[in-house]
Amino acid sequence: MKNLFKVFKISLFLGVCFGFYVIGVIAFGTLTEHNFEDKISLHDFQETPVTYSDSIFEFITWNVGFFGLGEESDFFYDGGNDVFQTKQTVKKNMNGVLSFINDNSAIDFFLLQEVDSFSWRSQNQDFFAEVSHLDDGYQSHFGLNYASTFVPIPITNPMGPTYGGLFSMSKYDVTDAFRYDLRTESMWPKRLFFLKRCFLTQRIKLEDKDLLVINIHNSAYDKSGAKKNKEMIQLLAFVQSEYEKGNAVVIGGDWNQSPPNYNPNDVPEEFLNAKFIDGDIPVGWKWAADVKTPTNRKLDSPYSKEFSHTSVIDHFLVSPNVNIDSVSVVNMDFEYSDHQPVYLKVTLK
């Protein structure tokens, strides 16, 4: 009986300690919460913007997986075990991304997602200091969509400080650049520790119109689809208004949904991603996707070409006044990220 009472006291003490920990984490998260305005300017105003006569443009979109999700990685939130990779692995992945940008420096626009800096999950590496040596020919803009002072999961090995977002690079002088909040964050207190989705715009002045380039990373782990639907309604209303003004629009990123023409027949249902249908976009708008080569893999285990479940969720959407010349996935066998780069070439009508 005495031993039983002792076990009860220890259990009670541990329960009280855990309760105080949870309350402390939520209180700390509430006090340090990052709140974003609906529209944030990322670029200084230019009275006399540079005007271009170009009509052919090349893009690459790539979710770089915060430099912690290369071929050797799994991830706890996707059915795996890992939370962190070693500093050496993160550096390998980051250097792979930097080398890819350097080797493809003729590309007009890079649209990167899940770009981390000074986060535990990316071993506090400073991507911006590294990329600054490569992007002399680019104008770059960054929009936070993950800004949590301390992420407490998993309980036994918390992710801790997490700062990441969208990073866009343009060879052309940008007239303006904005972060637009999508307002699909979770309810309190969950929102303190998860992403606050947004999209990032860069505007290029052409002789007869503007080219609006948009970097997007839509919600994941959204079983009901409510968040994704809300995000698409807001995004499409915005870009349709730009098109109606006569402007050309190219949107690229990680949509966390497959394009309408992606029809895998050998993937278990639990690994299928949500899928767009043709009626999801305004008349005349076009998806640009390479459905022959996977762009994303599941992180339930390290990458295996034979056994890993893959899908296509990274692609582009263009306005009716944009012709799609070519689109292709750059197959890297997921060496540096759980996503692969996607290339797009367009001609404006």
Could you write out the DSSP letters of every residue in 30-42? Answer: HHT-----SEEE-
Across the range 335-346, mean pLDDT stands at 98
What phi and psi, each to the nearest 5 degrees, are found at residue 122?
-115, 25
Residues in the chain: 349
Q: pLDDT tens, 101-150?
A: 999 999 999 999 999 988 999 999 988 888 877 767 899 999 999 999 99
Q: How many CB atoms lie within 10 A of CB 303?
A: 20
Amino acid sitting at position 239: V
Amino acid sitting at position 7: V
Please say if the pLDDT value at position 296 is more than 90.
yes
Q: pLDDT tens, 77-107?
A: 888 889 899 999 999 999 999 999 999 999 9
Predicted confidence at residue 224, as pLDDT, reads 73
Q: pLDDT tens, 22-78?
A: 787 788 778 878 889 999 999 887 778 899 999 999 999 999 999 999 999 999 888
Q: From CA 208, how far away is CA 133, in angstroms rounded?
A: 34
Q: How many CB atoms lie within 10 A of CB 212?
A: 22
Q: How many CB atoms lie within 10 A of CB 76?
A: 16
In percent, the amount of the chain with pLDDT more than 70 equals 96
User: By C-alpha distance, which of 45, 33, 344, 49 is closest to 178?
Assistant: 45
The alpha helices in the chain, defined as continuous H runs, are 2-31, 87-103, 127-131, 226-244
Q: For residue 213, list its beta bridge partners.
A: 202, 250
3-state DSSP assignment of residue 235: helix
Please say if the pLDDT value at position 14 is more than 80.
no
Contacts of 265 (CB under 8 A, 6+ apart): none
